[in-house]
Amino acid sequence: MKKRVCHLFNSISTKVILIMLVMVLPLNLIAIIANEKVIDTMVNQNKMSAQTLADTFTSEIETQMTNTHTLLYYFLTKNPDCIQMKLQEEDNYTYQSSKQKLFFSLKSMGSMTDGGDGYFYYMKKMKDVVVYDENPKDSNNLYHTMNEFIEKQLDDGITGGWHIYEFNSYKYLFLIVEQKSMVYGGWFNLDALMKKLEHRLSYTDYSIDLSEGMSPSNTSDRIVVSANLKKLNLVISVKKSEIVGGISKYVTALQTMAFLYLALIPLLFLFLKIILIKPLKIVNHAHRQIKKGNQDYRISDKANSVEYMEAYQSFNQMADNIKALRIEGYEKEIARQKIELRNLQLQIRPHFLLNTFNLIYTLSQRKEMTAVQQIIIYLSEYFRYIFRSEKELELFPKELKLIQGYVKMVCINYSGNVEAEYHIEPEVQYVRVPPLLIHNFIENAVKHGVKQGTMLHITVTGRYADKKVIFQITDDGNGMSGESLEKCRKLLQGDTEPENFTSGIGLSNSIRRLRHFYGPQAKIEIMSVQGEMTSVIIQFPYNLEVENEVTID
C-alpha cells in the first residue's frame, strides 16, 4: 500500500493536478457566483430591450396601416376618377379613362405616403382591378395575380380587415374592404418588414414571427417577447446563450484574483522546471547524441517521476534497437534492389528478343539489309533507354522516340500493314512518365490487333488540361471479348490479381507504377468492341509549373 501511495505521489499527472487545484479552485468559486448574478441581470436587460424594440416596431407598422386605410378611403370618397369608375355599369371609354387617371393618382400619392407597399380597387361588375405596387417587377403579371387573388376571396367569402395571406412563395399582410360594387385594399410584404426588424436586432440566433392570434411560449433556453398589432401578434425569440456570452461586470473580481496569482508565477516556474523542464532537457540531449551518430549513448540519470522513468527506459531500449534496425534497413535495401533488377528482367522479355532476332535472321537471309539496320538501331535505342538512365521517370519525348522506332520495326515484320499517327500537344513534351509505360500498350495493340491482310491503324494522342495528362492509344484491330475486357478492368481496379506470371501482370504492374508516382487519382481505362477497336486511356495529375524543372535533353 505504501509503495502504491509513493508511486501515485511521484506521478507527474498528480503533481500537475494538485497545482491546478491550488491555483484555479478559488477563481472557479468566484466565477460561479458572479456568473449567476451577471446572467440574471443581462437576461432581464436584454428582454426589456427586445420588448421595447417589438413595441416600437409594431407602433410604426400600425401607423403605416392607418395611413394605408386613410389613403384608400380618401380616394374612394374624394377622388373624382375613383367615384366615376364606381358609377360605370360597363367597360367603356369613361371607365378606362378614369381607371388610367386613378392609377397615376395612386402612384403619385402612394409614393409620397408612409403607407402600404401596394393598393388596389376591384370593380365587381367588370371583374377588373386597378393595382399599384411600389416595387413592380412585372405589371402584367401583377394585374393577373391580383385579379385571381380577389376573385378567390370573393368565392370563399371575404373576411374584412387586416389578415395574413401567402402566395407566390411570399407572405403578405392584406387589408381587404368589401362594398356593394367594389373591393378595395392594400398590402405589406411581410418578408420585407421582417428584414427591417432583423436589421435592428443585434443577435444572430433568433426567430421572428408575425401571425394572427399566436401566443408566445416561454422556454428555459430562450427569451420570448411579444407585441399586439390589431388582431396580429409579433413574437421575437432570442437564444439566451447569445446574451450571456457577453458577461462583463463581474469579471473584475476574477481579474483581481488573476493579478494576485501572477506574483506566484516565478515560484510555479521554478517548480515546473524541476519536475518537467529538466527531465525534458535530458531526453532532448540524448536524442541529439543519437542524431550525431553516438549510437552507444544511454540515459543514466535518475527520473523524478514515473512517467519520465518510463521515457528514459523507452529511449534506452530504442537506442539498443537502432543497430538491429540498421541491419534490417540494409536487408530491405538489398531486397528493393533485387526487385528493381527483377523489373528490368521483366522489361527484357526473352520472347520479344527471340522474335526480334528471328526477324533479323530472316531479313538477312533475304538480303534486306536496310530493314536489318533499322531493327538493330531500334534494339540499340531500346537497351540504351532501359539501362542508361537511373531515373524512375523519363521525359515523354524519349518514350515517343522509342515508340516510333518500334512501329517502324513492326511495319517491316508485317509488310507495312501497321500504321501509326501521333497527336501530341506541345505541353506534353515536358511531362515525365514511367519508362516503357506507353510503349507496352503500343506493343499490346500490335500483338492483339493485327488482322491478316488488313491494315492496322494506331492513334496515339497526348493532352494536358486542368493540371492533368491524358494519353490515349486507339487501334482498329481485333478488339476484345466482353469476358476479357471485364478481366482487364478488374485487374486495373485491384479487384483481382493476375492469374499467373504471363497473364495480366503487365496491366497490374502498369497501374501500380502509375499510382506509385502520381497517387490514387491516376487511372487506366480500357474500352473495346470485339472485331472493331480497342482504346486505352491513361490519365494522371501533373502540374507542369511544379514538376517540370528539367528541360528536354
DSSP string, 232-278: EEEEEEEEHHHHHTT--TTHHHHHHHHHHHHTTHHHHHHHHIIIIIH
The per-residue pLDDT for 428 is 94
Predicted pLDDT at 15: 61
Q: What is the CATH number of the domain that holds 434?
A: 3.30.565.10
**Residue corresponding to grid cell 528482367:** 345
pLDDT, residue 526, reads 94
- The CA-atom distances, in angstroms, between 430 and each of 272, 298, 412 are 58, 52, 31
CA distances in angstroms from 265 to 26, 255, 271, 274, 290, listed in the order given: 16, 15, 10, 14, 35
SS3 letters for 515-552? HHHHCCCCEEEEEEECCCEEEEEEEEECCHHHHCCCCC
Are 237 and 376 in the same domain? Answer: no
Residue 6 within any structural domain of the chain:
no
Please report the sign of the dihedral spanned by the C-alpha atoms of residue 349, residue 354, residue 357, residue 359. Answer: negative
Contact by Cβ (8 Å): 315, 55: no
pLDDT of residue 362: 85
**Residue 432 counted as domain residue:** yes
Look at the chain and report how many structural domains it folds into.
2
**What's the CA gap between 285 and 278, in Å, rounded?**
11
Residue that finishes a domain, picked among 222, 242, 262: 242
Residues 215, 364: one domain?
Answer: no
Cα separation, 480 vs 464, in Å, equals 28
Report which of 479, 419, 424, 498 is spatially closest to residue 454, judged by C-alpha positions: 419
- Distance, C-alpha 166 to centroid of its chain: 36
CB 399 within 8 A of CB 367: no
Q: Residue 332 and residue 328: Cα distance in Å, rounded? A: 6
Q: Which of 219, 242, 265 is the last residue of a domain?
A: 242
* Beta bridge pairs of residue 183: 122, 178
Please, are residues 278 and 301 in contact by the beta-carbon 8 Å criterion?
Answer: no
pLDDT of residue 551: 45
Asked whether 131 and 158 are in contact (CB, 8 A), the reply is: no
Among the residues of 10-79, which ranges form H helices?
12-78
User: What is each CA distance from 207 to 201, 214, 240, 403, in whole angstroms?
Assistant: 11, 14, 12, 70
Q: All 3 cell numbers of residue 388? A: 542508361
- Asked if residues 536 and 473 have their Cβ atoms less than 8 Å apart, the reply is yes
Instruction: Say yes or no: 353 and 213 in one domain.
Output: no
pLDDT (0 to 100) of residue 384: 80
Query: Rounded to whole angstroms, what are the CA distances from 114 to 63, 69, 79, 109, 197?
Result: 8, 11, 19, 10, 17
Q: E strand or H helix at 177, and its extent?
A: strand 170-178
Residues in the chain: 553
DSSP bridge partners of 175 = 162, 186
pLDDT at 552: 43
Q: Give, as one character, the DSSP assignment of residue 10.
A: T
Distance from C-alpha of 488 to C-alpha of 136, rounded to nearest angstrom: 64
270 lies in a domain?
A: no
339, amino acid identity: I
Q: Is residue 95 part of a domain?
A: yes
* H or E segment to which residue 412 belongs: helix 396-413
Position 540: which residue type? Answer: F
Domain end (from 242, 264, 290): 242
To which residue does cell 509488310 refer?
A: 415
Residue 486 lies in a domain: yes
**Is residue 30 situated within a structural domain?**
yes
Residue 307 lies in a domain: no
Range of the domain at 176: 11-242
By the 8 A CB rule, do 234 and 227 touch? Answer: yes
In a domain, 494, yes or no: yes
Residue pLDDT tens, the chain, 553 long: 655 655 555 655 566 556 655 665 565 566 556 666 766 777 788 778 888 888 888 888 888 889 988 998 888 889 998 988 888 888 899 989 998 998 898 888 888 888 888 899 999 888 888 888 877 665 567 777 888 888 888 888 887 888 888 877 778 888 899 888 889 998 888 888 888 888 888 777 778 887 776 666 667 777 888 888 777 888 888 877 766 665 555 555 665 665 565 566 566 656 666 776 777 778 788 888 877 777 778 887 877 777 777 777 887 888 777 767 766 666 666 656 555 544 544 555 566 777 788 888 888 888 888 888 888 888 888 888 777 655 678 899 999 998 999 899 888 888 888 999 999 999 999 999 988 889 989 988 998 888 878 899 999 999 999 999 999 999 999 999 989 889 888 888 877 776 654 556 778 888 888 888 899 999 999 999 998 999 999 999 998 877 765 444 4
Please provide the distance, in angstroms rounded to a whole number, between the alpha carbons at the two ends of the chain.
Answer: 77
Give whole-number Cα distances, 56 to 235, 352, 494, in Å. 13, 92, 70
Query: How far is Cα 355 from Cα 348, in angstroms, rounded to an integer?
Result: 13
Sheet harboring 128-133: ordered strands across?
128-133, 118-123, 182-189, 170-178, 161-167
